[in-house]
Structure formats: structure tokens, C-alpha cells
Amino acid sequence: MKARILGALRAVLTVATISAAVFVVAAPVQSARAQSRMLPDFPDLVEQVGPSVVNIRTSEKVVARAQQGGPSEEEMLDLFRRFGLPIPNIPKQAPKKSQPQQPQEEEQPKGVGSGFILSSDGLIMTNAHVVDGATEVLVTLTDKREFKAKIIGADLRSDIALVKIEATGLPAVKVGDVSKLRVGEWVMAIGSPFGLENSVTAGIVSAKLRDTGDYLPFIQTDVAINPGNSGGPLINMRGEVIGVNSQIYSRSGGYMGISFAIPMDEAVRVSDQLRSTGRVTRGRMGVQIDQVSKEVAESIGLGKSMGALVRSVEAGSPAERGGIEAGDIITKFDGRSIEKSSDLPRLVGATKPGTRSTVTVFRRGATRELSVVVAELEADKAVAAKAPAKEEKPKASLAAQTFGLVVAELSEAQKKELGIKGGVRVEAATDAAARGGLREGDVIIQVGNVDVSSVKEFDAVVGKFDKSKGMSVLFRRAEWTQYAVLKASK
């Protein structure tokens, strides 16, 4: 009986041991299979999206002048002398009157880029710099069909262009939701780097909302992008286009591990306008802005570094008519927070001209709301800096020596020239003033959120200031208004 029990126990232990071994072996196999399912399946993506990607070649007309006939008689004789040949007896001929040569135009290759099909009837998106200046655009599909394309419109500010080919039944891409894109997510690019058609590269999203331009927050990736990839699609793992490859960071001209793509939601917004009107309209307020440093934010009571500092206001602009002043810090536009200065031109630019918008500003330690009617952004205009008119030098004051400042009254003519109501002119800036960035000729408008219109007012405000803390100074330099924080020497 005992022998039978021991035998049964041995059999159970043997089965349990075999089952455990099978489990130990099977578990890594199942884990490996699960991991393999999680890895990106690039071949399927290439088959899915590849036919929608096109190669774009451009050419431009250049003026070529015809050569003025063959070599002259003297050039022929010199050739015989150089090679030691007997000089032939060339009969003298009457010189022919040279006929003026008409300049001729000829097509020359300009560049190679990429693009992708937006609609089945032949609408194609690419970069504006790919087709800029081109007189002829040739589009080659993956099936080797070639078409001449018409440029529907191009927007250099966003670097987006639309071209159209006469074809139907084309495989259009699917547009993805950029808001769902995550840093670290796998992405793939298809294009024609260095003219090598249908090249596939892959990587991950390195960052979102990367500031490298005025109107676009870029998607940063480590996908290999090289010349010729411009205008090609950036594709997520669902086979959706979430960006247009546009730029690279490079010290050599080639790929160095950082590339940038235009987010597809921004590209579609631009392309919709190009499709309907052939151009893009953007809003403008007429202000020059700058970042607000942490030091300035703390010194003026803003709390944290945010908003856009208004350095100057264009005369007659929507901003001036709406009451915005140099030195204001714009913290909100139509209720949307301005976390950094680059947020403002994007929000204003996306606003339809003629729209009445609410602008929240921080001024002299308090917040107020202003109403501005957004105008249309025109071509950039260079603003010439105006120097204060040379007048008889007013008597200087030695006030505020704690900060190394010597200031003087402004004449009425100087105030009119600068377009300001008050302030004091810096006659000398040393010690703390020089370290804070002030220099002779600057005009101080505010001290610690308090307007100053005369040397007397300036001395009174500075005299009440706690010298152990930094003193914020709003000043004007030519057309620019900015803050400085002065810290007295201990």
C-alpha cells in the first residue's frame, strides 16, 4: 500500500515539474510575441501610405546669351604659335559688323522635393520653398506617371504650398489628429532625399510645440530628413499624416539627428485658404513684442514669467487705437493665456481681419481689458529707428546716485519726437544702471510701475524705493520699449 502511495506521489511530482518547466519556457515566448506585436509594422505602413507620396521636380527660366561666333583671327594665330605650327597665310577680310544677340530663355533644373496627395482629384501639398520661384513643376507618382502641376498657392510664412495635377482616382492620405500626438511616439517619413525617390525613414517624436518660427509651433523628431525630403509627410503608426517635413537643424547642411515638421492642423488651415482664395490672410495688431523674464515679472508684481512685453506700438495701428501702450504686458488674447511671447502672433495671426478681440494687459501693477479690432497683416515693413532730435542739453540732475543714474528733463520737442507724454532722459549710466542694461540716451518712463514725467517725480519715486530689492525700470530706446531691473551695489 505504501509503495502504491509513494508511486502516485512520484507521478504527481513529475507532472507538476514538467508543467512548471513548460510554463517557464512558454512565458518568455508569449512575452516575446507580445513585444513583437507592439513594435511598429513599417512595411504595412509603407504599402498603405507610399502610393500617396510624390516626387516633385522644379525648373526655372534663366536668360542665356548666345556666344558671339567662333574664335577671332588673332586667337587662331596665337594658337598656332603656342603649338609651334607653321603659320598659314590667312587672307585679310573686311571686319563684319557684329549683330546684337538677343537674350534667350531656357529651362534649368531648380530643385527636388516631396509632396503627398490630399484629394483623389490631384490636389497635392508640399513646402512653399520647394516650388518658390519655379516656372515649371513636375510631379512623379509611385507608378512612374508624370504630370505637369499648376501652383494653386504658396504661403512662405508657414512654408505650405498647394499644387494641382490633372488626374483622378488618386490615393489620398488620411489626416491625423495632432492633438493626440505624444512625445516618444513612433513616426515615419517618406520622401526623396537627394533625389532618391520613395525613401523611408523612421524615428520618434522628440518634442511638440517647438518654437522655431513666428507663426508655427513645430513637431521635433529624430527621423532622418535630408534635402529632397522637404514637403513629404510625417506619418503616425495608424497611417495618418500628422505633419509636413520642413526643416532640419544642421551645422553641415545634412541631417544631424534633429528635424522639424509643420503640424498638420496648421497646414490644413493654411491649405484651406490657399484652395479657396490662393492666398493666406492673417490678423495683426501693430505691436513689437519681447519675452518677459522671471526677474522682471517678479519686480513689477506680475508673479511669474508669462505674457508678451509690448516694446513699441505702431502709429495708427489697431493696438494704438485700442489703447495698448509700450510697456504693457499682454497676458491674454480673447481669453486665451499668453504663456510666452510667441503665442501672441500665432493667436492674432489666426484671427480673421475685422474681428473685435479682447486683449488683457498688465499695466502699472494692475490688469485691464482693452478692445482691439484686428487688421490684416501685410508685407513686413522695416521700421526705421528715430533718434531723439538734438536740442540744447538740459541741466542734468544727480538724483538716484545709488543706482548710478544721472537723469535730465525731456523737452517738449523731444517728447513729441518720441511720441510719449513724459519721462526722463538718461545722461549717464554706471554701476547698477550699466549692469542693468541702461545707457546714455535712454528715456525712463516708469519706475516700479509708477509713471515719471519729470526729474522731481523720478527722484521722489526712487527715494521711496527699498534699496535692498531690485528696482524695475521701464525705458525707451529709439523705437523700442523694454524693462530693466537695477540692483544697488552692497
Query: Does 423 show up as a binding residue in the annotation?
Result: no
The three-state secondary structure class of 332 is: strand
Contacts of 68 (CB under 8 A, 6+ apart): 98, 101
Q: Is 293 annotated as a binding residue?
A: no
**Euclidean distance between CA atoms 367 and 300, whole angstroms:** 12
Alpha helices in 240-366 (DSSP H): 264-277, 294-299, 318-321, 343-349
- 468 annotated ligand-binding residue: no
CA dist 27 and 31 (Å) reads 6
Work out the number of other CB atoms within 10 angstroms of the CB of residue 141: 18
Q: What is the DSSP string of 285-318?
A: --EEEE---HHHHHHTT--SS-SEEEEEE-TTSH
Cα torsion angle, 77, 79, 84, 88, sign: negative
d(CA 460, CA 447): 10
Only one residue has cell 509611385, namely: 142
| Residue 396 neighbours by CB distance under 10 Å | 14
115 vs 162: CA distance, rounded Å:
9
For residue 442, indicate whether it is catalytic: no
Annotation marks residue 230 as catalytic: yes
User: How many Cα atoms sit within 13 Å of 119 on the Cβ side?
Assistant: 12
Q: Is 132 considered catalytic here? A: no
Of the candidates 159, 328, 343, 442, the residue annotated as catalytic is 159
- Alpha-carbon gap, residue 271 to 124, rounded angstroms: 10
| Contact criterion met (CB below 8 Å) for 183 and 207 | yes
Rounded distance between C-alpha atoms, residue 14 and residue 139, angstroms = 70
> Catalytic: which of 230, 259, 271, 397?
230
228 is in an annotated binding site: yes
Tell which residue, 52, 373, 470, has the closest CA to residue 462.
470
β-pairing verdict for 375-376 and 405-409: unpaired
- Distance (Å, rounded) from C-alpha 482 to C-alpha 310? 8
Query: Grid coordinates standing for 123?
Result: 490636389
Q: Which residue do the cell numbers 609651334 mark?
A: 84
Closest CA to 305 of 335, 343, 275, 358: 343
Helices (H), 83-221: 128-131
**Euclidean distance between CA atoms 307 and 293, whole angstroms:** 10
The one catalytic residue in 59, 121, 129, 431 is 129
Mind giving me the DSSP string for 386-445? PPPPP-PPPPPB---GGGTEEEEEPPHHHHHHHT-S--EEEEEE-HHHHHTT--TT-EEE
Q: Is 159 annotated as a binding residue?
A: yes
DSSP tag of 255:
-
Q: Which active-site residues does the annotation give?
A: 129, 159, 230
Q: Which residues are annotated as a binding site for substrate?
A: 129, 159, 228-230
Q: Which residues are annotated as a binding site?
A: 129, 159, 228-230
